[in-house]
Every structure is written in structure tokens, then in C-alpha cells.
Structure 1
Amino acid sequence: MTETAIFKDSEADRRFRGKWFANRLVIYGVLLLWAFICLFPIYWTATTSFKMAPNVMKGNLIPWVDFQPAWLGWRSLGLSPDTIGAESTVRDEFMKRFTNSLIVALTSSALAVMMGSLAAYGLSRFRYKFAWMKNDDISFFFLSQLILPPVVLALPFLVLYKELALLDTRIGLILLYTLSVLPIVIWIMKDQFSSIPTELEEAAMVDGLGVWGAFLTIILPIALPGMVAAFILSLVLTWNEYFFAALLTSTHAATLPVMVASQTGSQGISWWSMAALSFAAILPLIIIGVTLERFIIKGMAAGAVK
């Protein structure tokens, strides 16, 4: 090989590495920009909870540079270092609302995932006919329930819950939230089950398993990533729901979004208190999302092995 050929090869390699590096730089630059856009509201909420009123109005953003952090927002909730050990009516109310949101969101999401997975599995594996409706029509019927705006259902649910003595109860919210996110779970899980080959179940049944045995031991582990994704989406929707929580609850079963909205008064918006409440409300979702991300990866690996 001549020196000219070696020089051309090295020049081509340098050009290829330069293009590869430029492409990577653009991709990571776009990802960093998108990460900044997504995380900035959380950063703004967290920093606002430590601002005084003038800092909020001036739009100061960087702690210890633009403003000196204070515990004003957390002190209004009784959660600052100097008030955490003292009696606080506001903190007790916050803990009650937080407990209500946690119980209602977790229970309704778990129920929706369990029932929605069973319904989606049936629609993906069996053939049904109800009057003129077949499987695709039934699936669309479930999904069409999301078309109705919540305000249309306000009066019927208010009258129904009053007759059933479910107003201002956790059970009432759990039933309503389960019903509201069930179509989304069915939609997600139906696609998940449809992507799993039926030969796996047939092989399991040849080995002596029944329909339930094949579903629990073979299909369920493979569909775990979809179930976790459906659970996270249901949890976010039920945790942040405000309209029905404000309409159907008053004292005992009120949730955190109702308390956050109550920070708007005749004297204006208490931005520091609202920011502290909002950050305390989204923190559990962040923790649950990061924790369950590991289970998504494990579920995908388990599905690949099986």
C-alpha cells in the first residue's frame, strides 16, 4: 500500500469520526435542551417554595445568587425546621389531604390495572359479539368514554353519590377514578397482549396448564412492562385530578389538588405556599416513577428470556 493510499484512508477515517462526533453532539444537545425544558417547571416550583414575596415578583431564579433562600413556603405548611416539632393545624390538614390522595390514587390505579388487564386480555384472545358489537366495537366503546367532558357528568354523579351516601368519601373517589382511567388501561393493555404470540399459551396448555395458568405464568410476566406503564399513567391522572375531587368532597376525603387550588384568595396568590404544596404533591410521583422504572426494565428482560 502506497503512502498516498494510507493518507486517503486516514483522511476518510478523520472525516467519518468528525461526522459521527458532530451527529452525537447535535443529538445530545437536543436531549439536554429537552431535559432542561421538562425539568425547569420542577426546578421553578422547588425554588419558589424558598422565596420571599419580592423575589417571586422579580422572577429571581438562582438561589444564593439572585435571592437568599428562606423557609417561607414550608413554614406556612408547618414543615420548616423551626415548625416541624410544634403543633400545626395546617400540617395536620396537609397530611390528611396527602393520605387521602395516596390511598385514592394507589387503590384506583391498582384496581384499574387489574380489571383493565383482564378485559384487555379477553378482547385480544377471544371473540365476542354483543348485539351488533364485536371486539373492535367493544374496544372503541370503552375508549369513547373519554370523549365526554367531566362537566357533563358532574350533575349525574352528584345526584347519584348523594343517593348512595358516597359524597365526601374515599370509596366514592376510588370508584369514580377507577372508572375514569379504566378505558386508558384497556387500550394500553390490549395492544400489549396482542403483540404476544398465542403460540406461547398453546404450548403452555399442551404442557397441562389451563387458560388462567397460562395467563398467570406465561403472559403476565411478559406483559409486565405494559402493566407498569399503565399503572404509572393511571397514578398520574388520578393523583392530579381536581374537578371531581372538588365537586364530590368537602372535608373528610378532600385531596391535595383541592388544597393547592385553595391557596388563591382575595389577597392574591400565595405563590410560596402553592409552590411548597405543589412540590410536596409531585415528589411522590417522581419517587414512584424512578422506582418503577427498574421494574419496567426487569419486565422487558424477563419477557425476552421467556
Structure 2
Amino acid sequence: MSAQIFHDGDSDRSFRPGRTLGKVGIYAILIFWAFICLFPIYWTITTSFKIAPDVMKGNLVPWWDFTPKWLGFRSLGLSPDTIGTESTVRAEFLKRFWNSTIISVSASLLAVVLGSCAAYGLSRFQYKFGFMKNSDISFFFLSQLILPPVVLALPFLVLYKELGLLDTRIGLILLYTLTVLPIVIWIMRDQFGSIPTELEEAAMVDGLSIWGAFLTIVMPIALPGMVAAFILSLVLTWNEYFFAALLTSTNAKTLPVMVASQTGSQGISWWSMAALSFAAILPLIVIGIILERYIIKGMAAGAVK
């Protein structure tokens, strides 16, 4: 009898209909949300293989609603039958792609370096600038995001004209660094604030300076936050359109400007725009997947330490 009771209790613990239904509901919601998030990427990819009638009809399923064509990639010189030939459009695309890569990566790295230093100071030291203290200074940085870009258009246009920074990569790098710097400071301030100060005090007792403790103790633990801040900055600067269109004309134009230019007197070339958009978002997807692994490794290493 006791064995039977034990068996019944074990079966009750192993099978609970309410708990199972709850898990099924959670997974269903997650799958539905993943579908919503990934559908724009799917639509972009499929549109790049459509012709005009398929785009207008809204066909979605390849080989069911429409037969995939290389029209979008052929217009960029990136289709299998044109990749080996000379193409001015492909050369222009590669130039814009290179501009976006240099500008976004440089601005993101610069923002992470400067923002990490500023955030570390705000999390470890007490400052007073007039009536403003640490919390006020942090909010001041974040409040810079409230201003819409159009408000800054004329001042930056006049300033860059006087400094000779119009249509230059360095001009966009400096501007993009300023735009994402508040976000990096806000992220890294919380990251540094979660690290115990006793670690740095013990390192300085052993003879390290403040910078030595920061580089050898604090920075490895805060690396996941730095990577997250870098990814966010990279996405924001890579997709930025307004200032790139305003402050550049020929030499420093980026991919978002080229994507938006796929219009003409006969309408919008949806297949070319979709092919350009897919080529523009593909590097971000790859970088996100690669750096996500480093985030997990950094979190595990920080937990072990």
C-alpha cells in the first residue's frame, strides 16, 4: 500500500495539466511574437525576388504564390549572372556599404570608450556642477535624446559648413558619436553600479592604480554591458538616415540614403529597395548572432569571478 501511495504521488508531481497548459501558452505567445518580429525581414527577402505584378498582388509564399526572380539583385549587379561583370550600380553599392561600415563602427567604438569612462566616473565619484549632482548629470545626458533631429539640422548644417566637415566621414562619425553617447552612458552607469567597489579597493591595496583596477578588474566584468551598448549603438548609427541625407552629397553617403533613393518618375522600385535593404540588414544580423555568444560568455565569466 505504501508503494502504491508513493507511486501515485510521484505521478501527480510529474504530470500537472495546469502547468503543462501554462507552458504551452507561453511557448505559443513566444512563437507568435517571433513571427511578428521576423515577418518584416521575411517580407523584405521575398520582395527582393519578386517582379512588379507579384509585389502589387501581395504574394508572399515563394513557388506557391510567385516564382522567385533575381530582378532586385540584378538591378544592383549582385545576381549570379551579373556578379562577374562590371557594374556601376554594384560599385556604388559597395562604396555606400563601406561608408556605412566605417562610420557606424568608428562612431560606436568611440561612443563606447567615451561613454564607459563617463559612466564609470558617475558611478564611482561624486560630482557637483552648480546645482547639478550625479543623478542630475546622468539625466542631462539622457535628456539630449528628447530633441528631435530636425531641431539640430540648421545648426549642424551651418557649423559643418564653417568647419569644412560637410560630406565627410569624420563629420558623420563625430555627430553619430554624440547621438548615441547618452545611451551608452546610461547603460554603462547601471552596469558599473552593479559591480561591488570592494573589488577595486582590494586591487588598489595590492598596488594597482585606479586605471589599473578599472582595466584589469572592472572592465572584464562589465564587458557584456559594453558589447550590448556597442550593438545598440551600431544598429542606431547604421540605420540613421536624416543627418546622412542632410550633411552628405557624394563622398560620404551611406546605405540608408541609397535605399531611400530607389524611386523614380515611374514609381518605387520595390524589388531593388528590398534587395538593398536585405543587403543592409544582413551584416547586423550576423554581427548580432556572433556578439550574442560573447555576451553569454562574458556573463558566465563575470559570474565565476
The TM-score bracket by the shorter chain reads: over 0.9
C-alpha separation in 1, matches of 2:140 and 2:6: 67
Letter in 2 for 1:188: I
Find the counterpart in structure 1 of residue 233 from structure 2. Answer: 234
CA distance change for structure 1 residues 87 and 17 in 2, over 3 Å: closer, same or farther? same
Kindly indicate whether residue 101 of structure 2 is the aligned counterpart of residue 131 of structure 1. no
Find the counterpart in structure 2 of residue 116 from structure 1. Answer: 115
Shift of 1:17: 3.3
Letter in 1 for 2:76: L
Letter in 1 for 2:73: W
Shift of 1:268: 1.2
Kindly indicate whether residue 298 of structure 2 is the aligned counterpart of residue 305 of structure 1. no
Find the counterpart in structure 2 of residue 275 from structure 1. Answer: 274
Find the counterpart in structure 2 of residue 32 from structure 1. Answer: 31
C-alpha separation in 2, matches of 1:46 and 1:58: 16
Find the counterpart in structure 2 of residue 164 from structure 1. Answer: 163
C-alpha separation in 1, matches of 2:215 and 2:47: 47
Equivalence map 1:1-306=2 (5 Å): 1=1, 5=5, 9=9, 12-13=12-13, 16-306=15-305
C-alpha separation in 1, matches of 2:4 and 2:300: 50
Shift of 1:144: 1.0
CA distance change for structure 1 residues 45 and 204 in 2, over 3 Å: closer, same or farther? same
3-state SS of the aligned residue for 2:16? Answer: helix
Letter in 1 for 2:288: G
Q: Pairwise CA RMSD of aligned residues?
A: 1.4
3-state SS of the aligned residue for 1:146? Answer: helix
C-alpha separation in 2, matches of 1:7 and 1:289: 48
3-state SS of the aligned residue for 2:145? Answer: coil
C-alpha separation in 2, matches of 1:82 and 1:227: 42
C-alpha separation in 1, matches of 2:284 and 2:38: 14
Instruction: Give CA deviations for 1:70-121 in whole Å, capped at 9, x if unaligned.
Output: 0000000010011111111111100000000000000000000000000000
Shift of 1:3: 8.4
C-alpha separation in 2, matches of 1:3 and 1:212: 65
C-alpha separation in 1, matches of 2:207 and 2:293: 33
Shift of 1:12: 3.0
C-alpha separation in 1, matches of 2:2 and 2:138: 69
C-alpha separation in 2, matches of 1:59 and 1:206: 68
Letter in 2 for 1:288: I
CA distance change for structure 1 residues 7 and 177 in 2, over 3 Å: closer, same or farther? closer
CA distance change for structure 1 residues 143 and 10 in 2, over 3 Å: closer, same or farther? closer
C-alpha separation in 2, matches of 1:94 and 1:269: 18
CA distance change for structure 1 residues 77 and 125 in 2, over 3 Å: closer, same or farther? same
C-alpha separation in 1, matches of 2:193 and 2:168: 38
Instruction: Give CA deviations for 1:257-298 in whole Å, capped at 9, x if unaligned.
Output: 000000122211111000000000000000100010011011
Letter in 1 for 2:179: S
Letter in 2 for 1:166: L
C-alpha separation in 1, matches of 2:117 and 2:68: 50
C-alpha separation in 2, matches of 1:230 and 1:4: 57
C-alpha separation in 2, matches of 1:3 and 1:136: 63
C-alpha separation in 2, matches of 1:144 and 1:13: 52
Unpaired stretches in structure 2, ≥5 consecutive residues? none
CA distance change for structure 1 residues 199 and 4 in 2, over 3 Å: closer, same or farther? closer
C-alpha separation in 2, matches of 1:190 and 1:23: 37
3-state SS of the aligned residue for 2:146? Answer: coil
Shift of 1:8: 5.2
Unpaired stretches in structure 1, ≥5 consecutive residues? none
Instruction: Give CA deviations for 1:186-228 in whole Å, capped at 9, x if unaligned.
Output: 0000000001110110111111111011100110011011100
Letter in 1 for 2:29: V
C-alpha separation in 2, matches of 1:288 and 1:4: 56
